[in-house]
Structure 1
Amino acid sequence: MTSLDKPTEDAQDAQHDSRAVTEAALFEAFGGVRGMVETVVPGLLFVTIFTINKDLHWSAIAALAMSLLLVVVRLVKRDTVKHAFSGVFGVAFGVVFAMMTGNAKDFYLPGMLYTLGLAVAYIVTTLVGVPLIGLILGPVFKENLSWRTRNPGRKKAYAKASWAWGLILLAKCAVLFPLYWWADTTKFGWILIALKIPPFLLAVWLTWVFLAKAPAPIDVFAEMEAEEKAEKERKAALAQERGESAPARHRREA
């Protein structure tokens, strides 16, 4: 290997490491494969049971019980429960809506409204210069909000990713809301389940593409630790200097 080859290989290794870190962070932030399964299963169970017996109560109870079971499994395994808990709340709101109206289709309405609100939030926060995806992923990458003022390339990547999330979710809503009014409950439920994962995967993939090409995150936690260490060393050196100067002062006084 020549001296010209080494920088190229080092750059490729750094780029590979950056992509690996980005991929791991996205899996952590969005729950990975398991998080997607936990998002789909309760709704899938609901529409399956309703398709078979058209019984709203049993369908709702089964979906809520499944979401609670997923939380219990995570607790037993001592895994993070934030994604499972969010699923429980989503299913619980859906059950309440459906039970109140007596319309099984309303089981899906809270989730649809949440999706619409999230799409608007992605777009609005990007327009005001604080893209939502950066607020979500900043702590995961240990950069917090440093990307806003210290890492313009990364802020641009977060803006692109937030636009992608916002537009993809809006497109999903543009399909689902008309069907909510026109389609029957069974067809609507199956279409909604079919649209659960693909838009999410597309948004995550685009986020990975944008961030993998962006500058590396600034680890503000490492910076704070370094500052604390430097401050301790400075105080130790100052204390040592004072300790050494005291005998000299005593000698002059004597």
Structure 2
Amino acid sequence: MTTTGRQDSTRPDDETTGPLPIVGTPGRAGVGGRAGAPKDPAEMTMLDHMGGPMGFVYSAIPVAVFVTANAFLSLSLTIGIAVGSGLALFGYRLLRGERFAQAVGSLLGVVLAAALVAITGSARDFFAIGIWVSLAGFVFTVATLVARRPITGVLWNLFHGGTHDWRADRPSLRAHDIATMGAALVLGSRFVVQQWLYITESTTGLGIARVLMGTPLSVVSVILIVWAFRRSTKRLIPAGR
């Protein structure tokens, strides 16, 4: 009788200790947003397509090389050095294990810009393609805002399977409005400033503007986009998925 009583008295303790390991599982910790929580796959995909944090730095190097060389050397030598820097970066990124598509993108940009300079004979045309790309991006992002389909929200939904009614959730839609507007302002400011410098034929000024309005403003835009992505994920993706 005494033995049976002891066995019965220990059962509640055994039952309560059983589920304890579940509390510490990595999946549940990640859902709570604690340190070490897994990142949103959509966020990682977006950053990956942008070349990662170093992608902004890589894009600024050929510009700095071109402007510096143009200040001291002939235009033909400047073109060759700029293309050479692009090739060197391309090889370096491949050696670091980056994908070919990412590494070749920056090289193509340098080659196209250098080719335009070779055709026109004007050093300022090294920046012409980037100026008009900024204008096209500004018009496109503003158009998505006017259509009430901010592009960052469209991309977030696409990366998550395209099945979420994110526009019906006002906080998510507002977040993507802000992120897309931020991107539009970055692109628009780049076009206005650099187009003015292009008209005044200030090649050095164009180079400085490209660098100063490149990585710093891109970082601000990415912060807003990541914030909007995380807000949408928190509100619309079930916990644990």
TM-score, normalising length from structure 2?
A: 0.73
1:40 partner amino acid: A
Aligned counterpart, 1:35: 55
Shift of 1:102: 0.5
Equivalences for 1:1-254 in 2 at 5 Å? 14-16=32-34, 20-21=39-40, 24-53=44-73, 55-140=74-159, 142-144=160-162, 146-148=164-166, 153-216=171-234
Cα separation, 1, equivalents of 2:64 and 2:110: 11
Cα separation, 1, equivalents of 2:47 and 2:91: 21
The answer to whether the 8 Å contact 1:47/1:186 transfers is yes
The answer to whether the 8 Å contact 1:143/1:218 transfers is no
Cα separation, 2, equivalents of 1:134 and 1:29: 16
1:200 partner amino acid: S
1:51 partner amino acid: A
Render the CA deviation track for 1:44-90: whole Å, top value 9, x for unaligned. 1111111222x222222222222233223333443223333221222
Cα separation, 2, equivalents of 1:217 and 1:76: 40
Render the CA deviation track for 1:103-149: whole Å, top value 9, x for unaligned. 00001000111111111111112222332223444454x34463556
Shift of 1:92: 1.9
2:62 partner amino acid: P
Aligned counterpart, 1:227: none
The answer to whether the 8 Å contact 2:83/2:111 transfers is yes
Match of 1:216, SS state, is helix
Call closer, same or farther: CA 1:60–1:133 in 2, change over 3 Å: farther
Cα separation, 2, equivalents of 1:168 and 1:87: 20
1:197 partner amino acid: T
Aligned counterpart, 1:252: none
Shift of 1:11: 9.9
Between 58-67 and 97-106, report the one with greater CA deviation: 58-67
The answer to whether the 8 Å contact 1:36/1:197 transfers is yes
2:224 partner amino acid: L
Call closer, same or farther: CA 1:191–1:77 in 2, change over 3 Å: closer
Between 24-33 and 114-123, report the one with greater CA deviation: 24-33
Aligned counterpart, 1:246: none
The answer to whether the 8 Å contact 2:135/2:191 transfers is yes
Call closer, same or farther: CA 1:72–1:151 in 2, change over 3 Å: farther
Match of 1:93, SS state, is helix
Aligned residues: 212
Cα separation, 1, equivalents of 2:119 and 2:83: 16
1:111 partner amino acid: G
Shift of 1:214: 3.2
Call closer, same or farther: CA 1:190–1:149 in 2, change over 3 Å: closer
The answer to whether the 8 Å contact 1:64/1:91 transfers is yes
In structure 1, stretches of 5+ residues that fail to align are 1-5, 224-254
Shift of 1:181: 1.1
Cα separation, 2, equivalents of 1:217 and 1:66: 45
The answer to whether the 8 Å contact 2:59/2:106 transfers is yes
RMSD: 3.3
2:134 partner amino acid: T
Cα separation, 1, equivalents of 2:92 and 2:236: 36
1:159 partner amino acid: D
